[in-house]
Chains A and B, each alone.
Chain A
Amino acid sequence: MAQPATPVTPALKDDLDIVIPTIRNLDFLEMWRPFFQPYHLIIVQDGDPTKTIRVPEGFDYELYNRNDVNRILGPKASCISFKDSACRCFGFLVSKKKYIFTIDDDCFVAKDPSGKEINALAQHIQNLLTPSTPFFFNTLYDPFREGADFVRGYPFSLREGAPTAISHGLWLNIPDYDAPTQLVKPLERNTRYVDAVMTIPKGTLFPMCGMNLGFDRELIGPAMYFGLMGDGQPIGRYDDMWAGWCAKVICDHMSLGVKTGLPYIWHSKASNPFVNLKKEYKGIYWQEEIIPFFQSVAFPKECITVQQCYIELSNQVKEKLGHVDPYFQKLADSMVTWIEAWEELNPPTKAAPAAQSNGVKKDAPAPKPK
């Protein structure tokens, strides 16, 4: 249905940025080279800015370290986390592209059950370029996938669907469990390949994992703020969760869709569950208040842009979660700071002043492989 008549490869070459937060190295890019090389990378270097992150030859990239973040955002840099992969959202902020794919540096190319290597990026693009179906659940999952369709009983008036704002991919091998589950099941590996993409229904919340994620920056970018985590913060490993809950309630309000399922990547590194437990500890308790909060969020009809919704959300966070911990007051303030930074770097009409990166923009060797 939504397949182009002649395949366009690589799709969205000039319309998509790959954002990678890293603190170590980018060796993992070697494995992704066949799929990523045509695309522009935005590397967000966390941790010590004096360290040099080596980017493999042949990739076209910008690299930002903490000094760059501070220089570009000035006082607003306070909203960008330090010593946490939440810093990746700085990459979303400075990108000029319509689409973002973000991936962690311990995620590798997975194989499907036939043994074929999975081009995760191509699948995310397919997910984003085809509609979602948030208003009525299709029991054969994404009807826009080849080989699928709407089932009997699905109203024709709902078959146009909604634009897809987010594509949430999954992980084989090390599953994205929280610390308590990791401690109880240290050896569990995800070996189940579920050959489905599906839309998460309107009104339903989900835990959004940031390690294999695509989104339409124009549709939902301002809501993809990964919060205050890491250094100096009482909580960690809830950055992507927070972004996901904020983004989902806004998507629901704006009739945008969120898909989950394929593509799979191979997650190679299991983080230390004891370290994770310390980071997540407060989150596990706070979650019990946070979830009912998001489940009851309602936006006034005057909120017609994502930015407006997000500011409104920050007010509600302050008002309704402020009592849980002073952290939420800080978080609400940083949500506002984020939007201010977004507006500054992404003004609506003219092109934004180019954010000057640290890394040399290396052009890929010509001619580019087709």
Chain B
Amino acid sequence: MSQTNIGDDEVDIVIGALHADLTSFLNEWRPLFSRFHLIIVKDPDLKEELKIPEGFNLHVYTKSDIDRVVGLSSTAINFSGYSCRYFGYLVSRKKYIFSVDDDCIPAKDNKGLSVDAVDQHITNLATPATPFFFNTLYDPFCKGADFVRGYPFSLRSGVTCALSCGLWLNLADHDAPTQALKPGHRNSRYVDAVLTVPAGALMPVSGVNIAFNRELAGPALFPGLRLAAEGKLRWETVEDIWCGLCVKVICDHLGHGVKTGLPYVWRNDRGNAIESLKKEWEGVKLMEEVVPFFQSVRLSQAAVTTEDCMLEIVALVKERLAALDPVFARAAQAMADWIKLWKAVGSGSGSGSSPSNG
């Protein structure tokens, strides 16, 4: 059970349905999901009807909902494939969101006990993060741990955690070349730790298993960097990596935290890395530009909300990346459109954004 006092009604579980038949997926997660409200967003490209088992408190959104809400307000934002979940983030009104890919099931820890991923993510988000100094015993707010000798006392209250990045057993989230090189490689190592990613350090955020504080991170999680041949396997995307870098840079600027580590989910084997590599390898190349770009981003003192920060990043993307590849110019446009959309449709939970430059 959660050691925090977060109510179940403060959480939405948002699932992007890339597969029509969600029966086995939802049944596997039933013990952990049944007490929460679910938002299921159907991939607009999916033709078949969704199959959803009974007994859940949920809301389903499809292409027609997306078209109705978003309408013609953006040509740059594309909700197809993995990006369909962002529509769920837009329409949610809860404080915390948990998202997991529909090819994952609950994992077991190294004692063989079932991992309550939702509970762990909520705990991560509801306890402080410690980005300004590394604690060698990892999360000091975890039971049985604490700050170590030498950790400055003034930094021990920590900051709000905006994003909680979980991990994966079995099929880890490697890129296609890495998985193709070691096709039999599976992750069996259960690392029993949550830690805060230090301020100033960037990392690749995988969308497979994440949770976030909607007010703080929501405006920065959106369909942005879309590859030309983007597909329905994570190997054929980098959109989540782009968002994660936005979130981290913004958190570092605003003084929020990002945690990584527990919880694990079990990621089912799916697809073929070599086939994906043949189809879409642009993402790997683009990272060479994307990472140095985000490492060089400096936001102004005037940017005091996530939305403000996003707009400054848009300007920087236009200035420094757009010329390198059209995919970046589209990303910048998508970001700008997203912020408009977020303010118009998404700000229901009271993001309290100060007037921006627009």
Which residues of A are in contact with B by a Cβ distance under 8 Å? 113, 136-141, 147-158, 168, 170, 175-178, 181, 185, 188, 190-196, 200-209, 237-238, 240-241, 244, 260, 280, 284, 287-288, 291
Q: How far is the CA of A295 from the CA of B192 in the complex (A)?
A: 29
Does the CB pair A288–B152 fall under 8 Å?
yes
Give the interface centre of A113, A138, A149 by most chain B CB atoms within 10 Å: A149
Chain A nearest CB: distance from B202 CB in Å? 6
Q: How far is the CA of A177 from the CA of B135 in the complex (A)?
A: 11
Chain B nearest CB: distance from A203 CB in Å? 4
Chain A residues with CB under 8 A of B149: 176-178, 181, 207, 209, 237, 241, 280
Give the interface centre of A138, A155, A177, A205 by most chain B CB atoms within 10 Å: A155
Chain A residues with CB under 8 A of B290: 155
Q: Does B229 contact A (CB under 8 A)?
A: no
Does the CB pair B148–A148 fall under 8 Å?
no
Chain B residues with CB under 8 A of A203: 198, 200-201
A207-B151, A209-B149 are contacts. A152–B206 as well, Cβ < 8 Å?
yes
Q: How far is the CA of A155 from the CA of B149 in the complex (A)?
A: 35
Does the CB pair A188–B200 fall under 8 Å?
no
Closest to B110 in A: A113
Chain A residues with CB under 8 A of B192: 192-195
Q: Does B185 contact A (CB under 8 A)?
A: yes
Which 10 interchain pairs have the tightest Cβ spacing? A153-B204, A207-B150, A201-B201, A153-B241, A137-B203, A204-B198, A206-B134, A241-B150, A152-B175, A178-B149
Determine, out of B18-26, B64-72, B139-147, B328-336, the stretch whose residues face the partner at the interface: B139-147
Determine, out of B4-12, B42-50, B165-173, the stretch whose residues face the partner at the interface: B165-173
Q: Does B189 contact A (CB under 8 A)?
A: yes
Does the CB pair A206–B136 fall under 8 Å?
yes
Q: Does B75 contact A (CB under 8 A)?
A: no
Does the CB pair A152–B173 fall under 8 Å?
yes
A-B contact pairs, 17 of them (CB 8 A): A137-B202, A137-B260, A147-B189, A177-B148, A181-B149, A190-B144, A190-B145, A192-B193, A194-B138, A200-B134, A201-B201, A205-B134, A207-B150, A209-B150, A237-B149, A244-B150, A288-B152
Chain B nearest CB: distance from A354 CB in Å? 36
Q: Does B214 contact A (CB under 8 A)?
A: no
Does the CB pair B172–A151 fall under 8 Å?
yes
Does the CB pair A151–B174 fall under 8 Å?
yes
Chain B residues with CB under 8 A of A238: 150
Does the CB pair A185–B146 fall under 8 Å?
yes
Q: Does B349 contact A (CB under 8 A)?
A: no
Does the CB pair B200–A139 fall under 8 Å?
no
Chain B nearest CB: distance from A184 CB in Å? 9
Q: Does B197 contact A (CB under 8 A)?
A: yes
Q: Does B291 contact A (CB under 8 A)?
A: yes
Does the CB pair B193–A194 fall under 8 Å?
yes
Does the CB pair B146–A188 fall under 8 Å?
yes
Q: Does B315 contact A (CB under 8 A)?
A: no
Q: How far is the CA of A140 from the CA of B172 in the complex (A)?
A: 9
Specify which of B182, B200, B235 is in contact with A201 (CB 8 Å cutoff): B200
Does the CB pair A195–B190 fall under 8 Å?
yes
Q: How far is the CA of A175 from the CA of B151 in the complex (A)?
A: 13
Q: How far is the CA of A208 from the CA of B150 in the complex (A)?
A: 8
Closest to B242 in A: A153
Q: How far is the CA of A284 from the CA of B145 in the complex (A)?
A: 20
Does the CB pair A158–B146 fall under 8 Å?
no
Q: Does B137 contact A (CB under 8 A)?
A: yes
Does the CB pair B200–A152 fall under 8 Å?
no
Does the CB pair A287–B144 fall under 8 Å?
no
Binary contact readout B175-200 vs A (1 if CB under 8 angstroms, 0 otherwise)? 10010001001011111110001111
Chain B residues with CB under 8 A of A141: 191
Chain B residues with CB under 8 A of A244: 150
Q: How far is the CA of A205 from the CA of B132 in the complex (A)?
A: 8
Chain B nearest CB: distance from A249 CB in Å? 13
Q: Does B300 contact A (CB under 8 A)?
A: no
Q: How far is the CA of A366 from the CA of B203 in the complex (A)?
A: 51
Does the CB pair B235–A147 fall under 8 Å?
no
Does the CB pair B150–A202 fall under 8 Å?
no
Chain B nearest CB: distance from A207 CB in Å? 3
Give the interface centre of A141, A151, A260 by most chain B CB atoms within 10 Å: A151
Residues of chain B in range 234-276 having any CB-CB distance to chain A below 8 Å: 234-235, 238, 241, 244, 260
Chain A nearest CB: distance from B97 CB in Å? 19
Q: How far is the CA of A208 from the CA of B145 in the complex (A)?
A: 17
Q: Does B284 contact A (CB under 8 A)?
A: yes
Chain B residues with CB under 8 A of A287: 150, 152-153
Chain B nearest CB: distance from A162 CB in Å? 14
Does the CB pair A192–B204 fall under 8 Å?
no
Q: How far is the CA of A175 from the CA of B149 in the complex (A)?
A: 9
Closest to A206 in B: B134
Chain B nearest CB: distance from A213 CB in Å? 11
Chain A residues with CB under 8 A of B182: 149
Specify which of A140, A177, A196, A208 is in contact with B146 (CB 8 Å cutoff): A177
Chain A residues with CB under 8 A of B201: 136-137, 201-204
Given A139-B206, A154-B175, A207-B148, 16 further pairs, Cβ under 8 A: A137-B201, A137-B202, A138-B204, A139-B204, A140-B187, A147-B189, A156-B287, A177-B147, A178-B148, A185-B146, A191-B144, A192-B193, A194-B138, A209-B136, A209-B150, A287-B152
Closest to B136 in A: A260
Q: How far is the CA of A168 from the CA of B149 in the complex (A)?
A: 14
Does the CB pair A170–B137 fall under 8 Å?
yes
A139-B165, A155-B291, A190-B145 are contacts. A204–B134 as well, Cβ < 8 Å?
yes
Closest to A185 in B: B146
Does the CB pair A168–B288 fall under 8 Å?
no
Does the CB pair B174–A150 fall under 8 Å?
yes
Does the CB pair B136–A152 fall under 8 Å?
no
Give the interface centre of A136, A153, A155 by most chain B CB atoms within 10 Å: A153
Chain B residues with CB under 8 A of A193: 192
Residues of chain B in range 285-323 having any CB-CB distance to chain A below 8 Å: 287-288, 290-291
Specify which of A138, A192, A195 is in contact with B145 (CB 8 Å cutoff): A192
Chain A residues with CB under 8 A of B167: 139-140
Chain A residues with CB under 8 A of B200: 201-204
Specify which of A181, A190, A195, A260 is in contact with B191 (CB 8 Å cutoff): A195
Specify which of B148, B178, B191, B288 is in contact with A209 (CB 8 Å cutoff): B148
Q: How far is the CA of A359 from the CA of B249 in the complex (A)?
A: 55
Q: How far is the CA of A196 from the CA of B189 in the complex (A)?
A: 9
Specify which of B148, B155, B199, B202 is in contact with A175 (CB 8 Å cutoff): B148
